[in-house]
A and B are shown apart, each in its own frame.
Chain A
Amino acid sequence: MATTPTLDRHTLPSGGRVRSFIKRLRAGEEAAYLLTLAAAATILLITSLIFYELYVQSALSRHKFGFHFLFTQTWNPVTGDFGALPYVYGTVVTSVLALIIAIPQGLGSAIFLAELAPPKISDALAFLIELLAAVPSVIFGLLGMYVLVPILQSSVVPALRTVFGFLPVFQGAFYGVSYFAAGVVLSIMIVPFIVSISREVLLAVPQEQREASLAVGANRWQTTWHVVVPYALKGIMGSIFLALARALGETMAVTMVIGNVPQIKASLLAPGYSIAAVIANEFTEAVGDLYTSALIELGLVLFLVTFVINGLARLMIMTTTRQGAHS
C-alpha cells in the first residue's frame, strides 16, 4: 500500500542493495517501516479473521435461512426459526437516536471548550470528559435502569407527549424500558468520544486561520463557524464515526434499558431489542448448532450493518465537503 520512502532499490546492484538495506536498517528507517507496516497489517488481519470466523461459523444458519434471515421477524429458539430484522431495526434506531442527541451536544461542548472557554476550564472539563469515557457500560446501564428510566417515566415522556404526542413515534404504552431510553443512555456514553476528539482537532487548527479570518472583519463566532469548524471537519467526522461504532456495538447498557422484546414498532417508546444485546443474552445458554449458528450470523449482520452505515456516512461527507472550497 504505502511506498517505501527511500531510493529506488531496483536500480542498485545487488551488493549495493544489501549494503544500502543494512545502512537504512541501522538508521532505523527500514526497521520503522517494517514495524509500522506490521502494526497496520494486524488491523487488517484481525478484521478479516473476525469476518472469516463469523462467516464460517454461521454456515448452518446461512444455508438454512438464506437472505430471509435479514427480513423475517421470528426468533424462536424452541422451533429453530430465526430472523434478524427486529434486532437490526433496534440497533439502527437506538444508534441513530443516540447520534441525534449526542452530535449537537458533543460538538457544542467541543467548540466551547476549544474556542471560547478559558484554557484552565477547558483542560479541567476535558479531563472530566475523558473520565466519563472510562466509566464501564454496566454502570451506565444500572444508572439508566434505576435513575434515568424513572425520570423518563415520571416527567420527560409525559412532557414530550404533551408537545409531540400527535407524532406516531411518541405514541403507545410506555413501560420505561424502550428504544428511547436506550438511545438516551447511548448518547451519554458516546458524547465523550465526540467531545474529546473534536476538541483536540479544533485546538489543532492553525492560529493563522483564525487570525486571517478576524483580519478580514469576521467576528469570533463567524470565525469559529465558517473557518475553524470546516477546517477541522474531517477530524470531527472521525469522532462521530467512532461514537457511532461504539453505539452500534454497545451491549450491556442497551440490554438493561431496551426491554429486550424482538419486535418492530414505530413508536420510540416501545420496547425493542438490539443485535449486540441478544447475542450477549442468549449465546451462553444457546443449546444446539443451529441456534448458536444463528447467533453468530447475527454477529456477521452487525458487522455488515456497521460497514454499511459507515460507508453511507462517509459518502455523505464526501459529497458535502466537495461542495466546499476544497475536497
Chain B
Amino acid sequence: MQNRNQTKSLGLASALLGGGLVLAGLLITAPGAPTKAAMPPADSLQITGAGATFPYPMYSKWFNEYQKLHPNIEINYQSIGSGGGIKQVTEGTVDFGASDGPMTDDQLNAFQAKHGAPVLHFPTVLGADVPTYNIPGVKAELKFTPEALAGIFLGKITKWNDPAITGQNSGVELPGADIVVVHRSDGSGTTYIWTDYLSKVSEEWKNKVGKGTSVNWPVGLGGKGNEGVSGQVQQTANSIGYVELIYAIQNHMSYGMVKNAAGNFVKADLASVTEAASGASRDMPDDFRVSITNAQGKNAYPVSSFTWLQAITDFLHWMMTDGQNMTEALAYARLPRPVQQKELKSISKVQ
C-alpha cells in the first residue's frame, strides 16, 4: 500500500523493486519520459490494476504464477470493466489498467494532460466472437458471409431462408422463420469486437450504428453477459447471437463459420485467431492501438481482437514470454511471434 502510494506520488507510474522491476500504469510513461526511481524497502510491493473482465481468468492466472516466482510482489486486479479501468488509470487510483478496446485519442490526451506523460498500450492476449444460433432442426455448422451477418444485425435480412444465407449453405434446410437477433445488453468488449467487425465489413453498419462497447442496436433482444445471450438464444427458436470464443469453447457450444477477408470460411479456434493477429502484425502501429478484425491471412478468423494492458516491465516481459505458454490451457489464443517481438522491443525501450 505504502509503495503504491509512493508510486502515485511520483506522478506516473513507476515503482522499482529489487531486481529492477518497474511497474507502471496500464498506461505507462513513454520511453524517454523522466522516470524517477524510488527504492522502496524490498519487503513487499503491492500493485493494483483494474479493467476489462474478458481477460480476467488469464490475468488472475498470470498474476498468481508471477507471484509464485516473486513472492514479494502482490498484484491485485479488479475486473470492473474496460471503462472503469481507463477511468481509474487516468485518475491515478490504480497502477495499471486493462481494456478490450484501445483508448481513444481524447482519452490519451486527457491522460497526457493529467500526468504529463503518455500512456502506452500493450496487447496481452487475443479474443474472438463467434455467431451462435438456434434453428429447430438445423444441426449443421452454418457459414456466414460478412454481408449476411451485417444484414441480419441491421434487421434487413429477416428470414432464415434469405438467399444471402442459403446461398452459402446449400444442403442445409433453412426454415422461412423470422430471425430473432440477440445481442449483449451490458457494455462489453465482446460487443466492441462484434461491432468493430461489422463496421469494417458494412458501410451501412458503420454509418448507422458504428462501434462501441454498447451501441444503439437496430434490432434484437439484449441478454446480460455471454450467459445471458446464450441462454436467450437457446430458449428462442430461430435466434442468432454472438458470444466470446472462450465461452463457446468452455461450454461446448456449436457455432458458425465466418468468411474472412481472403474469401475463406473459417471456424474460430485458437490457431485461426492467432493467425488474424499475425496478419495484422505487418502494419502494426508503434502504440499497438490497432483493430485486427477482418484481418488478412488465408486462415485468419475475421472477428478477432486484442485485449490491452499496460504494465511495464519485467512482469509485462514475463507475460509476453513464459506467460504466453499458459494461454491455451485457458482457451485464450496466444500472441503471434512478430507481435510478441515488437512488444518486447517496446518494453525494453521503456525500461
Contacts and interface: CB of A to CB of B under 8 A. Distances in A.
Given A175-B236, A282-B187, A284-B84, A146 B231 contact: yes
A281 B186 contact: yes
B221 interface: yes
Contacts of A145: 228, 231-232, 235
B258 to A, nearest CB: 23
12 contacts: A77-B212, A77-B214, A77-B215, A145-B235, A255-B224, A260-B185, A280-B186, A282-B187, A285-B83, A285-B186, A287-B86, A292-B83
Given A77-B215, A145-B235, A285-B189, 14 more contacts: A77-B212, A79-B216, A149-B235, A150-B235, A173-B178, A175-B221, A259-B222, A281-B187, A281-B214, A282-B187, A284-B187, A285-B186, A285-B187, A285-B213
B221 A285 contact: no
A282 B186 contact: yes
Nearest to A287: B83
Interface in A248-306: 255-256, 259-261, 271, 273, 277, 280-288, 292
B187 A286 contact: yes
Contact of B82 (A74, A76, A150, A285): A285
B241 interface: no
A4 to B, nearest CB: 45
A97 interface: no
B49 interface: no
Interface residues of A, number: 32
For chain B, what secondary structure do more than half of its interface residues adopt (helix, strand, loop), or is it mixed? loop
B131 interface: no
Contacts of A256: 224, 228
Contacts of A282: 186-187, 214
B186 A176 contact: no
A44 interface: no
Interface of B: 80-84, 86-87, 101, 104, 106-107, 178, 180, 185-189, 209-217, 220-224, 228, 231-232, 235-236
Max count, chain B CB within 10 A of own CB: residue among A146, A255, A259, A287: A287
B236 A176 contact: yes
B216 A77 contact: yes
Contact of A78 (B83, B210, B228, B231): B210
A281 B81 contact: no
B221 A261 contact: yes
Given A255-B224, A260-B222, A261-B222, A285 B231 contact: no
A261 B187 CA distance: 14
Contacts of B223: 260
Contacts of B209: 78
A75 interface: yes
Contacts of B185: 255, 260, 277, 281
Nearest to A178: B221
A287 B104 contact: yes
A73 to B, nearest CB: 10
A78 B81 contact: no
Contacts of B232: 145, 177
Nearest to B191: A285
Max count, chain A CB within 10 A of own CB: residue among B106, B107, B224: B224
A176 B87 CA distance: 37
**A-B pairs with lowest CB-CB distance, top 7:** A285-B187, A260-B222, A284-B81, A260-B185, A78-B210, A76-B216, A285-B213
Contacts of A292: 83, 87
B194 to A, nearest CB: 13
Nearest to B220: A261
A261 B181 CA distance: 11
A55 to B, nearest CB: 20
B221 A271 contact: yes
Contacts of B106: 288
A255 B185 CA distance: 8
Given A78-B212, A145-B231, A287-B83, A177 B187 contact: no
A66 B283 CA distance: 45
A242 to B, nearest CB: 26
Nearest to A141: B224
B106 to A, nearest CB: 8
Interface in A90-121: none
Nearest to A142: B231
B52 to A, nearest CB: 9
A74 B214 CA distance: 13
Nearest to A262: B216
Contacts of B214: 77, 281-282, 285-286
A78 B187 contact: no
B187 A79 contact: no
